[in-house]
Amino acid sequence: MSAYRVKEAFYTLQGEGANQGRPAVFCRFSKCNLWNGREADRASAVCNFCDTDFVGVDGQNGGTFADAGALADHLIALWPSDFRPAFIVCTGGEPFLQLDDALVAALHDCGFEIAVETNGTLLAPAGIDWLCVSPKGRSTVVIDSCDELKFVYPQADLSPEDCVHIQADHYYLSPRDDRYLTQPGTQEELAALRNASLIATSQRITNHTAECVEYCMSNPPWKLSLQTHKYLGID
């Protein structure tokens, strides 16, 4: 593996899914295979509703790390306690462009339990402790089983029923947050949107949230997952 490129890393609570509320170090890897991250290319991307800036290595605690040991040391330093296991959520961008056997081993050696948020289009290395697959539009999902499947709803090219062949212990619907699709213009305005608590802009998400509630109530085993960090105004 050449050097690992990380956009940002931070300590917060997992905001989504079955681990919602659990303290975690987040490692956001740079780069994705379903969008290049440029607003000008969003509309034509396979994944066109992304809420995340994953371009470059310039975020908090971001950088380029020469080997797995150096990155794992950097990440465990963000865990504030002697309590083990420590918990890490690897996300991005698409983490499986970079997360390999060497990094899984180095993170385990540091005492981390490893969770991953992936679009499911790339195979996972062995040893991931918690896998969340979130299928996107016309992409081909190659992972056939996971701990939780998180469907961002609605999607023009994909419905939840298209995904139930993927084995999962939990099937979640997560309301699509459309605040990033309004093309407000400058990078500064987009960054301000990303940092704005949903409480301030809740009107914008009520439609998809209500659609998700209705879908879950009509279609067990689907359950609702909210992006609680956005309501709380935390990372």
Ligand X SMILES: Nc1nc2[nH]cc(C(=O)O)c2c(=O)[nH]1
Closest CA to 83 of 132, 127, 22: 22
Q: How far apart are CA 171 and CA 166, in angstroms?
A: 10
| Total of residues contacting ligand SAM (CB under 6 A) | 19
Cβ partners under 8 Å of residue 16, min gap 6: 150, 172, 174, 225, 226, 227, 228, 229
- Of residues 9, 15, 99, 168, which one binds ligand X by CB under 6 A? 15
Q: CA angle 158-55-35, nearest 5°?
A: 25
- Is the Cβ of residue 54 or residue 65 nearer to ligand SAM in the bound state? 54
110 is annotated as contributing to ligand binding: no
Question: Among ligand SF4, ligand SAM, ligand X, none, what binds residue 229 when CB lies within 5 to 8 Å by partner kind?
Answer: ligand X
Catalytic residue among 8, 16, 94, 117: 117
146 is catalytic: no
Calpha distance 166→13 (Å, rounded): 27
Question: Is 193 near ligand X (CB under 6 A)?
Answer: no
The least distance separating ligand X from the CB of residue 114, rounded to whole angstroms, comes to: 14
Q: Which spans of this chain sit near ligand SAM (rule: CB under 6 A)?
A: 32, 49-52, 91-92, 94, 117-119, 134, 150, 152, 174, 176-177, 180, 227
